Amino acid sequence: RHDPQGGAHFVEDESTKIFARKVADHYSARSNQTLEEREASPIIHLKKLNNWIKSVLIQLYARRGDAVLDLACGKGGDLIKWDKAKIGYYVGIDIAEGSIKDCRTRYNGDADHHQRRKKFTFPARLICGDCYEVRLDKVLADDAPFDICSCQFALHYSWSTEARARQALANVSALLRPGGIFIGTMPDANVIIKKLREAEGLTFGNRVYWVRFDEEFSDKKFKSSSPFGIKYTFHLEDAVDCPEWIVPFHVFKSLAEENDFELVFAKNSHEFVHEYMKKPEFVELMRRLGALGDGNQDQSTLSADEWEAAYLYMSFVLRKRGQPDKT
């Protein structure tokens, strides 16, 4: 199905489209929460921890004046993080119309209940579209090249077929300048498969999340299956309930290399926290965000169940080969 020359000349089968729509409808239907609702969420500390991880990635790799491409930007939850990094331009794309609408509202500073704030200093373009189905280089010809691309908690939605996974990486590669950076956070396939194998049936989880694999994977070996299209259902209390796909890391790495990327690092969220909590500036950021509360095992801090859910994710940093133009 994949045409290595042309990239986007493939036929999407009906079920792929239906699943992409299911994902889009799921996110579109999630309305904005009030600050009170957000604070009462059973995964509030996990959300804060994930915001800390994204902030650390942005602070480590964004430079003043950067042109940023935010793939699957959602409701624009990272706009403030990019603003703090003093970026010069922002393009956000998401498949969910409702989320792009909320993102636009947040960018325009209207009715933002999370933080009433001044307008953002950078110009932005917000687009509703499927980042994994079509070539984006034509759509974004006037905006490229970008210095940095971010895809947070969303790249795994491209892994439903080989064509989509390839299109996702080809799009990022085509839009980044030489030496440009691609940062992201996605489910850690090694952890998910390990937990599946340890589980009695095809489901595992705790009070805040569950993962359920389809019957077709009941041997839990995945030896004969393609590394694409390994579907499971993911439920995260108060956040996610939709089909997702395993991203086997070695396949991700080799597709990235085929697309002119080199791996800077990949770290499970637990390892990420341990590593960057050694740096005082990120400890202070964690304190400000309140993800780990005051360290006591009460409701003011991350619960053991949330910490286990955090273990399901990993972050990666890729660098596009080549030297940036010296101008």
Interacting residue ranges for ligand SAM, rule: CB under 6 A: 20, 23-24, 27, 72-74, 77, 93-96, 99, 130-132, 152-154, 157
CB of 10 to ligand SAM, least distance (A): 15
Is the CB of 57 or the CB of 302 nearer to ligand SAM?
Answer: 57
Distance CA 306, CA 289 (A): 16
Q: What angle do CA 202, 207, 213 make, to 5 degrees?
A: 15
CB of 67 to ligand SAM, least distance (A): 18
Is the CB of 23 or the CB of 68 nearer to ligand SAM?
Answer: 23
CB of 316 to ligand SAM, least distance (A): 14
What is the gyration radius of the CA atoms in the chain, in angstroms? Answer: 19
Q: Cα separations (Å) of 141 from 109, 135, 136, 176, 321?
A: 28, 11, 8, 11, 20
Is the CB of 101 or the CB of 177 nearer to ligand SAM?
Answer: 101
CB of 216 to ligand SAM, least distance (A): 22
Is the CB of 28 or the CB of 259 nearer to ligand SAM?
Answer: 28
The residues near 197 (Cβ < 8 Å, ≥ 6 apart) are 220
CB of 326 to ligand SAM, least distance (A): 32
The residues near 127 (Cβ < 8 Å, ≥ 6 apart) are 91, 92, 93, 100, 139
C-beta atoms surrounding 35 within 10 Å: 10
Nearest of 247, 239, 245, 242 to residue 310 by alpha carbon: 239
Residue nearest ligand SAM by beta-carbon distance: 74
Nearest of 196, 223, 189 to residue 212 by alpha carbon: 196
CB of 280 to ligand SAM, least distance (A): 26
Please tell me whether residue 24 adopts helix, strand or coil conformation: helix
Burial of 163 (0-12, 13-18, 19+ CB in 10 A): buried
CB of 29 to ligand SAM, least distance (A): 10
Is the CB of 17 or the CB of 250 nearer to ligand SAM?
Answer: 17
CB of 290 to ligand SAM, least distance (A): 18
Is the CB of 96 or the CB of 285 nearer to ligand SAM?
Answer: 96
Element (H, E) at 44: helix 44-61
Is residue 263 a contact partner of residue 303, using CB atoms and an 8 Å limit? Answer: no
Is the CB of 106 or the CB of 319 nearer to ligand SAM?
Answer: 106
Is the CB of 128 or the CB of 193 nearer to ligand SAM?
Answer: 128
Is residue 86 a contact partner of residue 65, using CB atoms and an 8 Å limit? Answer: yes
